[in-house]
Chains A and B, each alone.
Chain A
């Protein structure tokens, strides 16, 4: 492929003032590196947020009864939970599918009482899907088919002043409104590291919840996928195979607060990257304009020779694009060590937020990792090229306005 002379002209022009070009490349590179690092960190944080939600027992997706998203009513049940569970577990890309049934309840021991949300689970599936169910500090997790057993959070145990093998008095309101009473033996105590989260955990078997509430079947199927990147795609497919009357919700719909957080974090990052890009752009505009001012006679001559405005603009923009490509390379080189470090070692926020923290029942890891990948190359090129090209628009316009008559004399253009 033959390179046009305009391109050669533009690229070689960058070598005319090496110091200015170097400073411009460093400027674009730093801006690009900041944007890349922020993007990598936010992508990593977002992936960890999604993973935290999924691992806290909320999954990537949830099959819920129609209307649950609005009402959040625990008494709603799936159309055919057993068949839906089999369908989901047979699907490619599904890591775990766990059925749940929930009910509000009151736990009592002696004169002490605690309100909880009773979570009916399929024990093996729950241990596979939820890190909460794996965070046993005492005893064991539930076994399939063992009725009248419970696993509670350490904060509840502390408040009720109970220990393993103690029997708790459970009160549940049945479907018809009458009270149901039962005894639950504590077989395990969970300590997630988050006192808030440990104050909400009360797991029993699915069968127990069915018996206490008088409602048969699962109230939801929580699903984790092999990769969070296929959430939308899998949700779309699932909607075509589940019975009418049930819904497929993504984690953003199940946990709208976290979905909104994700959006606002993204918006904040875009704003910050935007500010960085604008600062870089102003610097590049200034440098490019100075270069054009120094080359006024050259542009006057080119226009006297018949170069049209659009060709002048093209020349200046190709120069800017070459600067952008160099800046993107510099940005990648500058950002890579930092992104690599934060992607492998992570940034530990435990000094600020503690070893384990939870928000709205979601357990988050205090060590945050960046997302390093090939996506950084097009992102670097995009940021650098967009900023240098936009920055070059005013200098290009200025170049077009240079008076070509000055080419024929030694007076200033």
Chain B
């Protein structure tokens, strides 16, 4: 029996824009287990990003409960939610969002510094980059890297502190298929090697093909939740590139 990392029960999230109330999530139930490689799919406005925001402790539900690692996020202060994100969650963004004035290694190191890691953080960051075959890019700044390289560095930043859960918002949206595949391979490798759990919000069929579980949202509720064999599990792709 796999551990439950996320348990969302009857989650509702409303946004108010002037007099208009938008019901982004309407009583959503979802459980995420350790080791999941999960894609959340659905049309625009179905609530994918809202769900990721709630799981990522960036926002709180209007009603219902979202428990991450057993903690009810609605009971946590802003500071404690920041702590949870820093220590146990990793984020990968669609637009990479690396700090432009820091090198690849410094971007990874920065998260470790925020966590209070001491002088060894530089070596740790270098080692994470080398593990992900990014060692030779360590001293380059984001503007000296291709989109694919930037996103791989962003993954390195997300996993540097070995979080249990990594949330990725449209991680392949700005990548060509070759780079997208390399990125997904890298993530699969991390899941297998370090028992990390990955949750993607995506429209990309390639990401879906890599997922071991696909959750489909529509109008703020889960309309399907399927387990499947992923491309990587079938051995149809090559190693990390």
Judging by beta carbons under 8 Å apart, are A405 and B79 in contact? no
| Option from A2, A9, A297, A309 in Cβ contact (under 8 Å) with B102 | A9
The distance from the CB of B56 to the nearest CB of chain A, in whole angstroms, is 7
Does A114 count as interface, using CB distance less than 8 angstroms? no
Judging by beta carbons under 8 Å apart, are B106 and A308 in contact? no
Q: Which bracket fits the contact residues of A?
A: 20 to 34
Judging by beta carbons under 8 Å apart, are B93 and A404 in contact? no
CB closest chain-B residue, reference A408:
B169
The distance from the CB of A4 to the nearest CB of chain B, in whole angstroms, is 6
Does A108 count as interface, using CB distance less than 8 angstroms? no
| Option from A5, A13, A309, A407 in Cβ contact (under 8 Å) with B110 | A5
Q: Quick one: which of A349-367 are within 8 Å of B by CB?
A: none
The distance from the CB of B41 to the nearest CB of chain A, in whole angstroms, is 16
Cα distance A6–B113 in the bound complex, in angstroms = 8
The distance from the CB of B117 to the nearest CB of chain A, in whole angstroms, is 11
Does B230 count as interface, using CB distance less than 8 angstroms? no
0/1 interface trace, chain B 55-93, chain A, CB 8 Å (1 if under): 010110000000000000000001100111111010101
| Option from B85, B87, B113 in Cβ contact (under 8 Å) with A304 | B85
Does A91 count as interface, using CB distance less than 8 angstroms? no
Does B22 count as interface, using CB distance less than 8 angstroms? no
| Option from A5, A6, A404, A410 in Cβ contact (under 8 Å) with B58 | A404
Main secondary structure of the interface of A (DSSP, over half): helix
Cα distance A410–B203 in the bound complex, in angstroms = 15
Q: Which bracket fits the contact residues of B?
A: 35 or more
The distance from the CB of A309 to the nearest CB of chain B, in whole angstroms, is 7
Does A306 count as interface, using CB distance less than 8 angstroms? yes
Judging by beta carbons under 8 Å apart, are A407 and B113 in contact? no
Does B177 count as interface, using CB distance less than 8 angstroms? no
Cα distance A368–B100 in the bound complex, in angstroms = 52
Cα distance A303–B97 in the bound complex, in angstroms = 12
- Given A305-B85, A306-B111, A306-B115, A16-B101 contact (CB < 8 Å): yes
Judging by beta carbons under 8 Å apart, are A9 and B101 in contact? yes
Q: Quick one: which of A284-318 are within 8 Å of B by CB?
A: 297-298, 301-309, 311
Does A72 count as interface, using CB distance less than 8 angstroms? no
Cα distance A5–B83 in the bound complex, in angstroms = 19
| Option from B56, B101, B167 in Cβ contact (under 8 Å) with A12 | B101
The distance from the CB of B52 to the nearest CB of chain A, in whole angstroms, is 6
0/1 interface trace, chain B 177-206, chain A, CB 8 Å (1 if under): 000000000000000000000000100000
A-chain residues with CB within 8 Å of residue B93 when the two chains form the complex: 301, 304, 407-408
Judging by beta carbons under 8 Å apart, are A305 and B114 in contact? yes
Judging by beta carbons under 8 Å apart, are A409 and B169 in contact? yes
B-chain residues with CB within 8 Å of residue A16 when the two chains form the complex: 100-101
- Given A5-B113, A309-B79, A408-B91, A304-B58 contact (CB < 8 Å): yes
Judging by beta carbons under 8 Å apart, are A5 and B94 in contact? no
Does A263 count as interface, using CB distance less than 8 angstroms? no
Does B119 count as interface, using CB distance less than 8 angstroms? yes
Judging by beta carbons under 8 Å apart, are B113 and A408 in contact? no
Does A145 count as interface, using CB distance less than 8 angstroms? no
B-chain residues with CB within 8 Å of residue A408 when the two chains form the complex: 49, 52-53, 56, 58, 91, 93, 167, 169, 201
Judging by beta carbons under 8 Å apart, are B169 and A5 in contact? no
A-chain residues with CB within 8 Å of residue B110 when the two chains form the complex: 5-6, 9
Judging by beta carbons under 8 Å apart, are B114 and A306 in contact? yes
| Option from B95, B99, B115 in Cβ contact (under 8 Å) with A9 | B99
CB closest chain-A residue, reference B84:
A306
Cα distance A408–B106 in the bound complex, in angstroms = 22
A-chain residues with CB within 8 Å of residue B36 when the two chains form the complex: none
| Option from A15, A306, A405, A410 in Cβ contact (under 8 Å) with B94 | A410
Does A146 count as interface, using CB distance less than 8 angstroms? no
Judging by beta carbons under 8 Å apart, are B91 and A405 in contact? no
B-chain residues with CB within 8 Å of residue A302 when the two chains form the complex: 99
Cα distance A301–B102 in the bound complex, in angstroms = 14
0/1 interface trace, chain A 330-343, chain B, CB 8 Å (1 if under): 00000000000000
Judging by beta carbons under 8 Å apart, are A305 and B101 in contact? no
Does A8 count as interface, using CB distance less than 8 angstroms? yes
CB closest chain-A residue, reference B85:
A306
0/1 interface trace, chain B 31-55, chain A, CB 8 Å (1 if under): 0000000000000000001001100
0/1 interface trace, chain A 387-413, chain B, CB 8 Å (1 if under): 000000000000000001101111000
B-chain residues with CB within 8 Å of residue A4 when the two chains form the complex: 113
Q: What are some 27 contacts across the A-B interface (CB < 8 A)?
A: A2-B119, A5-B102, A6-B113, A9-B101, A297-B95, A304-B56, A304-B85, A305-B85, A305-B91, A305-B111, A305-B114, A306-B82, A306-B83, A306-B87, A307-B86, A308-B79, A308-B86, A308-B114, A309-B79, A404-B58, A405-B58, A408-B58, A408-B167, A408-B169, A408-B201, A409-B49, A410-B94
8 further A-B pairs in the complex, CB-CB below 8 A; given A305-B157, A408-B93: A5-B109, A9-B110, A13-B101, A16-B101, A306-B114, A405-B59, A408-B201, A409-B169
